[in-house]
Amino acid sequence: MSHITKIQTKIYNISSLAEAAEQLGLEFIENRRTFRCFGWGDTSCDHVLKVSGNSTAYEVGLKLSHDGSYELKFDDFDGGYGLMKKIGAAAGLLLQRYAVVEATRLARIQGYSVTESLCEDGSVELEILTEAL
C-alpha cells in the first residue's frame, strides 16, 4: 500500500521564496513595507518582490498571516506591466517554483537525492530517492 497526497502550496519559508523569486527574475527586498501597484486598497506588506531591471512593473507584497504563512498581494491590471509574465496567472508560477525549491531543500536535509524535470504541461516533477526506500 502506498498513498497520494494533494496539497495546496502555502509559503512558510521566506528564504526559499526569495530563492524561487530570484530564479524567476525577481528581486527580494526585505522589510519594505509597501508594494507598487495601481494604488487602490491596502498596499501594506512585510517584504516585496520586484521584477529585476523593470522599474515600471508592479510588485508583489508579502504579508505575514496569523498562521505563519505569507500572503501574496499583487495587482494584475494590464499584466502588472510585466509582473504577471514572471509570476504567472494568480502567481501560480511563483507558488510552483517556491514549492520546488522548498521540497528540494527539505529532501536534501533528510539526506535524499532529488532529480527535477519539466513536464509537457508545465508541471515540475521531483523524484526523491533514498537508499532507505
Partner 1 sequence: MIKIKIDKTGNIAIKVMGVKGAACKEVSAFLERALGQKLDEQLTTEFYYIEEETDQSGTETMLGEVS
Smallest distance from partner 1 to CB 116, Å: 10
3 binds partner 1 (CB under 8 A): yes
Between the alpha carbon of residue 96 and those of residues 25, 44, 61, the distances in Å are 14, 24, 17
**Short-list 98, 96, 100, CA closest to 126:** 100
Binding string, 100-119, against partner 1, x = CB under 8 A? x-xx--xx--x-x------x
93 binds partner 1 (CB under 8 A): yes
> Which of these segments, 38-46, 54-62, 78-86, 99-107, binds partner 1 (CB under 8 A)?
99-107
d(CA 24, CA 127) in angstroms, rounded, equals 22
For partner 1, which residue of 82, 95, 108, 131 counts as binding (CB under 8 A)?
95
How many residues form the binding site for partner 1 (CB under 8 A)?
Answer: 43
Q: Alpha-carbon distance 21 to 46, whole Å?
A: 16
